[in-house]
Every structure is written in structure tokens, then in C-alpha cells.
Structure 1
């Protein structure tokens, strides 16, 4: 073989090697992406999806398809063995893709209101104990005179796993305290899952009591959204999916989630949070938060404005 022919063959070989590596990588990435997609779809539709009668799903699908504003009820549940538990965190998340705006409104768990389906006045977080997500949705809709499109129920213990899978989250802490395990200084605080649970559950050292705790809950939600949106490692996706599958239920289907990710992803650019206000009192020895009608009207207006 001529020397020139050997050089040509050598050049062709060295050209084929990187092309072969690129092809193998492309096939590997494609296979991984396909497995992630299938895992996510199966987890959402088979493990997490639980429709409720109080939400007209067909009407909601039309809104999502048209990329219209949406209201989502977030339920943070302290679930125990052989006990449904109560919703310790209730929040209405409103998404407005036309204004790229996200609004998160907390409803204190001790708020006294009519429990739809029972016809009695009680703490709003008892609705979940009595009738699960369906009764919670109906009760919140009645309390604020709004329409909810989706609900998401998250086991609070799963919150710790979720943060650990993300790595850490960061919040801007407003009061300093030590709970015997962690120091929480004023300013930016970076937290793993365990520290996050201490952060959201502290109440006695907060001068604002449960109001302060619900504000920290909103901060954690925002921290998770921000960290999840900026997360660089796609290798964590399957882990996140598994955690959500074991700790979350929702009437969202996989296709709905895809549409939210594409059509509503920029709403996090303008984040607004608020908490329903009222005054505490005891009725028959039980503590309740009484929310005046003018406050209910104000919050109703805030949510309605997002949908106008």
C-alpha cells in the first residue's frame, strides 16, 4: 500500500472515531430522555392522578389549551399512619401567562368557615380530614367565591425528600432564631431538606405565630420553584419524579403538566405572595381565626383580577 493511501485511510479512521462516539452519545441521551419521559408519564397518570368531583376537568382543559389564567389549590398535608391527616398548609396559586405573573395566597389553617358537604362551621383545614382533597376544593371555592382549576396535595414529609433531591434551596429569612439544632440568621439562608422542615414548622419563636409560619411556607414554595427551574443536572429528574409519585396527588394529567411547563413557565418572573388576615378568638374553648367579610372580598378581588 502506498504511503499516501495509508495516510488517507488513517485520516478516514480518525474521522470515523469521533463520529461514532457522537452517535453513541446521541443514542444514549435519546434513550435516557425517552426513559425519563415514559417514567414521568406513567408516574403522573398512574400514581399521582386523582380527579375530584368538585372540579370540572373538561372546562379546565379548555383553559389550559387556550393558555388562560389558572387557579391551583396547594395542600400541604401532615399525613400519619392510618390517618388521612389535616391540611396544615392551604394556598391558592394563581398563574397569569398574559402578564407573566404568579400569585400565592395563604389561607391560615384555623380560619373558621362553612365546610361544604357537612354544612357546619369549622376550621378550614378540617375539610381535608372530613372529605379529602374534594371537600377541601369545594370549601375553599365557597369561602373565597372563586373557581379552582387544579389541586395539588403534597405530604409534608415528602417536602424534605424533594429539597434534598434538588440539593438545597435558598430563602430570605426575616427573623433570627435557634431551634436547638439550627441557627437561622436574618438574610439569605441556604437549607437542605431537614433544615427546611425546621424552617417551615417553627411557630412559637415567631412573634407573628401561625401567620409567620405560613409566610415561611410560601418562601419555601418559591425557593423550590426557583431551584427546580434553574437545576442544571438532568440526571436528577427521575429521582424527583419518584419522590413526587410517592408523596403527591393531583387532578393534573401528564399532558396538562407539559402544557403548564411550556405555556406558563414565565409566570415565576413576577412572584407575589399574600396571606388572608383575620383576628383570633375562642368559641366553646376552641381557637379560630375569624376573617372579616371585607378581607374575603379583598382576596376574592386579588384572585379574580388575575383571571381578568
Structure 2
């Protein structure tokens, strides 16, 4: 009896040590990954009177940049999505900005497509341009290399989305309804424009669907068993000014926010050519209305 009890104790200690080792390995690799992806920018927004703190559960905003990076070229931000998070309301709002939107480019004294702001001045110019366009502060950014985007989704074992329209692009067919996507399929699905009668607006809907699906999948505890692949994919393809402690805090206290995501979008369809290039002309009243919603969600005076 004593031997059996001793064996059980040793077995329990062994399991505990393995568990501790597993958790420590995750933490070490997570810390290494966050060191690799952490790329701070100057946070001196004129739109903020006081500093915000994730730990204190202050509402904050994030600019998601999907960048089409090319050899020997800084690339352009193929995707620009503003996310606001209000932990007290346990809610999140997401607004896609059409990449062809005609705006004042911060620091250049000229107007151009909003996605060119990244090409002209990297993340900082893109952040400042979006801040001025929507009249809200941008507290954080997350930049994803779109070509590596598929690696992140594959590391999550794919994502599931509700497709609202049957679409075909080359050899890829996406039926209407619930569909499961691999990384490559998700990349194609998120980039379709000409085959969708809604053009860039339909593309924005699909991009937000995939991001929401990724957030939900990443929050699933079973995803931890793939942490090696996930950390490698993130380290190779993501840059952000979130610190390690802020991301830990988000995972710990903001998990309920992802269950209440409101999708905002530009309803206007005005556009036209200036010279040889087509631009989207955002309606001033619509921009103000969207800005008002985002400010309220951030707890700012609208």
C-alpha cells in the first residue's frame, strides 16, 4: 500500500513538473516572440489629453495594417482597419477604411490614396493620417505582412467564416454559407475585389470576418498545443507597439470583449478619376458620423 501511494506521489510530481515545464516553455517562447515583433512608435497624439492604460482597463484604439510587402520596396497598406475597444462596455468596434480613400496625407501637404501613407512614411505616417481623417487617437498598431498572413492562419489550423455571397476567383471557389479556409484560401478570399459586385467594400467585409475568426480561434485553449507554430508565424510576419505585459493583460482581462464586435463601414459609393487614377471620395457627413461613434466608444467628447 505504501509503495503504491509513493508511486502515485512520484507520478503526480512528475506530471506537475511536466506541466510547469510546458508553461515555462510557452512563456519563454512567447516572450522571445514579443521581443521580435515589438516595434514601438512615437505616441504623442494630439487627439489624446491623457495617457491611457490597458491595465487600468481604459478604452483604446488599434490600427490594423495588412501590408503588401515587396522585395526592395516598402509596400503599401492593402488593408486598414480601425478597432476601438471599450472594456467597461465589453465591446469592440471595427471600421474598414477603403484603401483608395482620397485624404490629406499627414506631413506631405498633399492629398492621395490613404493606403499610400504607409508607402510614404511607414507606420507612423499611416497612423497620423488615419488620426486626422477620423479625428480620433490611434493608441496602438498591428502590422501584418499579407503574404505571411496565411502562415498565421495555418498555425491556427484554419478559420471558419460565414460567406454571404458565392464567389469564384481563378481555381478557388467559395460557396455561400459557412466555409472553412486554409491560410492560402483565406488570403485569396480576403483579397477578392473584381469578382464581387461590391468591389472593395465586399473585400472589407471578408477581411473583418477573417480577423474576427482569427481572434476567436486564437482565444481557444486548444490552440495552445500549436504554440510553436503560432509563435513562429507571428514572429516572422507581425510588428506591433503592444508590449508583452500589455498583451498578457489583454489576454487575461479582455477576453469577453471579443464576444461583442460591431462592424462599422462606409456606406457611400462616390468615386472617380483624378487624372489616370481612381479614388474613393468619402462623404464628409458620414466620416463625421463614424468619427462620433468611435469617439463615444473611446469615452471621448464627441
Equivalent position of 1:111 in the other structure: 101
Please list the CA deviations of residues 199-248 of structure 1 after superposition, one character each: whole Å capped at 9, or x if unmatched: 11111110101110111000000110111112414221232112111111
Distance 1:180 1:120 in 2: 38
Question: Which structure 2 residues correspond to residues 42-61 of structure 1 after superposition, within 5 A?
Answer: 42-45=32-35, 47-55=36-44
| Residue of structure 1 in register with 2:274 after alignment | 283
Number of matched residues?
296
* 8 Å CA contact retained: 1:95, 1:264: no
Paired residue for 1:161? 151
- The structural deviation recorded for 1:59 is 8.3
The answer to whether the 8 A contact 1:60-1:149 is kept is no
Superposed CA offset, 1:141-171 (max 9, x none): 0001000110000001221011111112111
CA distance in 2, matches of 1:248, 1:59: 29
Matched, 1:307 2:298: yes
After superposition, what is the alpha-carbon deviation per residue over 1:60-86, rounded to whole angstroms, capped at 9, x for unaligned? 874212101110000000111111110
Counterpart of 2:56 in structure 1 is: 66
* Higher CA-based Rg: 1
Q: Which runs of 4+ in 1 moved over 3 A?
A: 58-62
Cα deviation for residue 54 of structure 1 reads 4.4
Q: TM-score, normalised by structure 1?
A: 0.92
Residue of 92, 96, 115 corresponding to 2:86: 96
Aligned to 2:28: 38
Alpha carbons 2:60, 2:139 under 8 Å: kept = yes
1:36 deviates by: 1.3
Q: Quick check: 2:64–2:142 contact (8 Å CA) kept in 1? A: yes
The 5-angstrom pairing of residues 223-262 of structure 1 reads: 223-262=213-252
Worse-superposed segment, 245-254 or 34-43? 34-43
CA distance in 2, matches of 1:220, 1:122: 28
Quote the offset at 1:40 in angstroms. 1.1
Q: How does 1:169-248 map to 2 (within 5 A)?
A: 169-248=159-238
The gaps in structure 2 that reach 5 residues or longer are none
TM-score (norm 2): 0.94
Change in Cα spacing, 1:189 to 1:117, as seen in structure 2 (3 Å) is same
Gaps of 5+ in 1: 1-10
Q: Distance in 2 between matches of 1:28 and 1:135?
A: 47
Partners of 1:250 and 1:13 in 2: CA distance: 54
If each structure's helix is expressed as a fraction of its own residues, which one has the higher value? 1
Give the Cα–Cα distance (whole angstroms) in 2 for the partners of residues 62 and 288 of structure 1. Answer: 35
Contact 2:96–2:265, Cα closer than 8 Å, also in 1? yes
CA distance in 1, matches of 2:221, 2:181: 15
